[in-house]
Amino acid sequence: MTIAVGDTLPDVKLVKATPEGPEAVQSSDYFAGKKVALFSVPGAYTPTCSARHLPGFVEKSDELKAKGIDEIACTAVNDAFVLGAWKDANNADGITMLGDGNGDFAQAIGLTMDGSGFGLGQRGQRFSMVVNNGVVEQLNVEAPGDFSVSSAEHMLGQL
């Protein structure tokens, strides 16, 4: 079942990329008590993710925070080491990277995709959501191959 606006995020383990190395975090703890702009990419270093999705949230981070967002986070079915390197390579200091290496989070919210035709295996779909104290307030899921409703620009229009 796909998560919907008004639902509480499931409690699963994610791995936060930090300068000191990977740090396991429970999603219930991470999202508690704050308003988070969360976006998901099918994979770090993939074309649309690197050229448009991540850069948009980096560029619009101040505007998102001015509209009440406490933290901006990105998740992907990648390990925290890859996400940390991708963050550094893109000067994305204001973005928290949450590795979902086994796809547990993507599966728990019902937003997986099969990228095996491209050698990617099971991945998370491209989406964005506003999560307030663990509850989904906005949810923007892209159609396969699209990039519009999960963008930082679209989210700004919703806030």
Total-model pTM:
0.93
CA–CA gap between residue 106 and residue 75 (Å, rounded) = 9
DSSP 126: P
Per-residue confidence (pLDDT) for residue 50, from 0 to 100: 74
Instruction: Quote the pLDDT of residue 119.
Output: 65
How far is residue 124 from each of residues 64, 93, 157, measured CA to CA in Å?
Answer: 23, 23, 24
Domain locations along the chain: 13-158
Q: What is the pLDDT of residues 96-132, one digit of tens each?
A: 999 999 999 999 999 987 777 776 767 788 899 999 9
Question: Six-digit token pair at 49?
Answer: 């993710």
Residues noted as catalytic: 49
39: left (phi over 0), alpha (psi -120 to 50) or beta: beta
State whether CATH 3.40.30.10 applies to domain 13-158: yes
36: enclosing H helix or E strand? strand 35-40
Q: What is the 3-state secondary structure (H, E, C) of 34-88?
A: CEEEEEECCCCCCHHHHHHHHHHHHHCHHHHHHCCCCEEEEEECCCHHHHHHHHH
Given a contact cutoff of 8 angstroms between Cβ atoms, the answer to whether 103 and 12 are in contact is no
Mean pLDDT over each residue of the chain, to the nearest integer? 92
Per-residue confidence (pLDDT) for residue 80, from 0 to 100:
94
